Amino acid sequence: GDSVTQMEGPVTLSEEAFLTINCTYTATGYPSLFWYVQYPGEGLQLLLKATKADDKGSNKGFEATYRKETTSFHLEKGSVQVSDSAVYFCALVRDKLSFGAGTTVTVRA
């Protein structure tokens, strides 16, 4: 069935470092892809999405491009801040949303 695999964490970075979180998917056809973020003590929030191949989603300085040739949707941010410390989830949707296991990111000042 459809599934998402994302890189294991935890990931620890210094402020202003470059962040990449890898995400690959397995699905028939071309599902819509999402990144959700969960800040400490909160529910998940939609960060960005892409609905078709070569689409780039972006929000809050984060970007991810839907690559059908590599079945990937990697999340990137050029300069992280302490406030970006959170758990990031990659997800895809066919009839229902399926999440990856999550990657914990900690940004140190």
- When the beta carbons of 46 and 78 are compared against another protein, the nearer one is 46
Check if the beta carbon of residue 43 is closer than 8 Å to that of residue 93: no
Tokens found for residue 108 = 């140190």
- When the beta carbons of 53 and 101 are compared against another protein, the nearer one is 101
Among 10, 29, 40, 41, binds another protein (CB under 8 A): 41
Q: How far apart are CA 101 and CA 89, in angstroms?
A: 7
Residues 42-71 contacting another protein, CB under 8 A:
42-46, 49, 51
**Total site size for another protein, rule CB under 8 A:** 21
- Beta-bridged to residue 14, according to DSSP, are 108
Q: How far apart are CA 49 and CA 8, in angstroms?
A: 21
Residues that bind another protein (CB under 8 A): 32, 34, 41-46, 49, 51, 89, 91-93, 95-97, 99-102
